[in-house]
Chain A
Amino acid sequence: MADLGKRYRDAFAASAARGDGPLLFPFLAAGFPTPEETPELVRAAIRGGAAGFEIGVPFSDPLADGPVHQDAYTVALAAGATIETALDACRTARQTAPDIPITLMGYLNPFLSYGSSGSRDNLDPGEAIGDPVQPLAKRAAEAGVDGIIIVDLPVDESDTAREVFAAHGISLVYLLAPTSTDERIAAVAERASGFIYLVSLTGVTGARDQVAADFKAFVGRVRALTDTPLAVGFGISRREHVVEVGKLVPAAIIGSALTTTIASAPVDGRAQAVERYLEVVTGRRSEETST
């Protein structure tokens, strides 16, 4: 069994030693706009300064996502994207950058379905979630995945799944939101490995003009209860947001704004657009020269 959360720990420690935080983890919707393009977009993001990845598995009913990701998933699914597309993207990232932490992200139903060939038999209450994710845990570990985010698997329902993934060296990465009570934050703190994903705002994914005003207080409430590294996502789209949240947490996740960058780039310029956008949000290139 791999050392649970090791790549996350190492990446955070190295960044802290360099003092150049926050780390930037881009979110890429696997298979958007086509499965064939995904590996090159992953490599482009690494060239642009990605310090890790969140690779999203498209789902037909993404109820925590705003319009940008809904549309991206619809396009990806129509182009034939599956969990395999996402695992391929993870494998590409792992081969290109052996040390970066890679997080697979998605909704529960496709993960339960993976490898079960639509079985009607997995009905034992205790095994209803744990058993069906066994095949995914195995394949994800082989693809080099370090952590998994399951948007609609809250901590209350997560214990069997967490154990299955942990047995394959994969951290179940929890989300906390500004609405999370101290009791829920403590429950997550007790179980977390890798990092904890802070949802910066009360809402769905999508770029916003500003970082939520109560984000600092939210980070404080979480910090009081855990030492696990924190990463922030939802609403982060610009270098100034990254700098602002970087004063509070060691990593930021950018999703919708990157997806929009891909969607609005010329067909033969998507990889270059991803690379440039990452250079800008990581501070390697000033915004003025980005266009």
Chain B
Amino acid sequence: MTRESGAFGPFGGQFAPETLMPALAELEDEWEQAQSDPAFRSELDAMLRDYVGRETPLTHAERLSEQLGGAQIWLKREDLAHTGAHKINNALGQVLLARRMGKPRIIAETGAGQHGVATATACARFGIECIVYMGEEDVRRQALNVFRMNLLGAEVVPVKSGARTLKDAINESIRDWVTNVRTTHYLIGSAIGPHPYPVIVRELQSCIGREAKDQLQKKIGKLPDVAIACVGGGSNAIGLFHPLIDDPVRLIGVEAAGEGLKARHAATLSAGSPGVLHGTRTYVLQDDHGQITEAHSISAGLDYPGVGPEHAWLMLTERAEYVSVTDDEALDGLKLLSETEGIIPALETAHAIAYAAKVAPAMSPDETILIGLSGRGDKDVEIVRDALEARAP
């Protein structure tokens, strides 16, 4: 049993308790069969078109480009997908997969609630029982999203262990899965976890990059020079990057530097070290004893002390660059896009905008930046208002 599958160089793998290993093998088999089953593909495509609203638009950010005075910026509009973020692409695909496996119960973790809402939505659409684990602290901060999930028929279970945030919600989801593995599919929301999850999530999110590449080709007849996306677990980033990996495109993942890399942050690739968390070998935030430390970001979706193993591999091989921007810079990015384009991005996405604003001015107007606009910011307006008021002189 020396399978090589699921490895991204030294990263990835299956570091899971024995109880779950057969379920991971079953999931891998089912995924492979589904991939080569035209009926699965066509049902998923029809759902993505008629329910999610794909393909999502590609918007030329003309005023933003003009104001920054350099490269032309294009936005891949995942904020316009049903439920307001890219998360639905993965949730729908995995719900279809769970139905194929005959699993009548779905569990998911959520931080801010976007993945929880997407999962509750997809489960409602197919009439499947849905339980969402959410840190007690996040339940408190995101009460409206809890209500949305309840409206969609999902049960939200507050997690009281650890720091009561996303990491702990994942731990609790895995504990539920260990206990109910025979009847339950764990619908992981990012490109993390043991193999085959990072591959499944990447493939289900790759529609982002594939569409954007085609759309840009049709509009300007060429590839982007730079593609930028925010990275927490990294699902929207890997979805944007993966179809561009063999192309001459500079790939930049933007992590959350929180209050700064020397203070509290969530910049796992920029400032972490290799380790094993939640079933995969990747970069993690940890202390000298290998204990996982708390992440911090103003954006709950980036507030995670691990990262998808494929990003660790893209960094190691220097195929992609990983940078970070602070909470403050992300707030500026959110304001900038709101004021120049009339689009309020999610705080996660605002990190990508903020970094694009740093690189665009040094580029020529003939050059192009493609930004993965992963989600809309309605969910964040309260946090943004409080943060902007707090820093007002």
In the complex the two chains form, is A177's CB within 8 Å of B18's CB? yes
Interface positions of A from 2 to 57, Cβ below 8 Å from B = none
Which of A112, A154, A178, A199 is in CB contact (< 8 Å) with B275? A112
Which of A70, A112, A113 is in CB contact (< 8 Å) with B288? A113
Give A70 to B274 CA distance when docked, in angstroms: 24
Is B167 at the interface (CB under 8 A from chain A)? yes
Which residue among A65, A157, A176, A177 has the maximum number of chain B CB atoms within 10 Å of its CB?
A: A157
In the complex the two chains form, is B275's CB within 8 Å of A156's CB? no
Which of B10, B14, B162 is in CB contact (< 8 Å) with A61? B162
Contacts of A226 in B (CB 8 A): none
- Count of interface residues, chain B, beta-carbon cutoff 8 Å: 47
Interface positions of A from 114 to 145, Cβ below 8 Å from B = 114, 117-120, 122-125, 128-129
Give A109 to B283 CA distance when docked, in angstroms: 11
Is A248 at the interface (CB under 8 A from chain B)? no
Known: A66-B175, A114-B290. A108 touches B15 (CB 8 A): yes
Which residue among B7, B19, B21, B170 has the maximum number of chain A CB atoms within 10 Å of its CB?
A: B19
Interface positions of A from 158 to 201, Cβ below 8 Å from B = 159, 174-181, 184, 187, 199
In the complex the two chains form, is B179's CB within 8 Å of A202's CB? yes
Known: A124-B10, A203-B179. A153 touches B15 (CB 8 A): yes
Give the total number of A-B pairs whose CB atoms are below 8 A apart.
Answer: 143
Contacts of A159 in B (CB 8 A): 2
Give A112 to B277 CA distance when docked, in angstroms: 12
Is A110 at the interface (CB under 8 A from chain B)? yes
Is A228 at the interface (CB under 8 A from chain B)? no
Known: A109-B277, A125-B10, A179-B23. A61 touches B16 (CB 8 A): no
In the complex the two chains form, is A59's CB within 8 Å of B291's CB? yes
Give A285 to B284 CA distance when docked, in angstroms: 48
Is A77 at the interface (CB under 8 A from chain B)? yes
Is B17 at the interface (CB under 8 A from chain A)? yes
Chain B nearest Cβ from A183, distance in angstroms: 8
Is B161 at the interface (CB under 8 A from chain A)? yes
- Count of interface residues, chain A, beta-carbon cutoff 8 Å: 54
Is B286 at the interface (CB under 8 A from chain A)? yes
Known: A152-B17, A154-B14. A204 touches B290 (CB 8 A): no
Give A154 to B3 CA distance when docked, in angstroms: 12
Give A139 to B177 CA distance when docked, in angstroms: 35
Contacts of B124 in A (CB 8 A): none
Contacts of B1 in A (CB 8 A): 155-156, 184, 187
Q: Digit string of B3-27 for contact with A (CB within 8 Å is 1, else 0)?
A: 1000101100111111111110100
Give A108 to B171 CA distance when docked, in angstroms: 15
Q: Is the interface of B mostly helix, strand, loop or mixed?
A: mixed
Interface positions of A from 95 to 112, Cβ below 8 Å from B = 107-112
Contacts of A114 in B (CB 8 A): 289-290
Is A265 at the interface (CB under 8 A from chain B)? no
Interface positions of B from 39 to 92, Cβ below 8 Å from A = none
In the complex the two chains form, is A152's CB within 8 Å of B9's CB? no
In the complex the two chains form, is A152's CB within 8 Å of B179's CB? no
Is A79 at the interface (CB under 8 A from chain B)? no
Is A225 at the interface (CB under 8 A from chain B)? no
Contacts of B174 in A (CB 8 A): 63-64
Contacts of A120 in B (CB 8 A): 273-274
Is A211 at the interface (CB under 8 A from chain B)? no
Is B278 at the interface (CB under 8 A from chain A)? yes
Chain A nearest Cβ from B16, distance in angstroms: 6
Given contacts A154-B15, A154-B17, A156-B2, 12 further A-B contacts (CB under 8 A): A60-B291, A61-B277, A64-B174, A65-B175, A66-B175, A83-B289, A113-B275, A119-B273, A174-B18, A175-B18, A199-B19, A203-B179
Interface residues of A (CB under 8 A from B): 59-67, 70, 74, 77, 82-83, 107-114, 117-120, 122-125, 128-129, 151-157, 159, 174-181, 184, 187, 199, 202-204
A-B contact list, 9 entries, CB within 8 Å: A61-B292, A109-B277, A125-B9, A128-B281, A152-B16, A175-B18, A179-B18, A179-B182, A204-B178
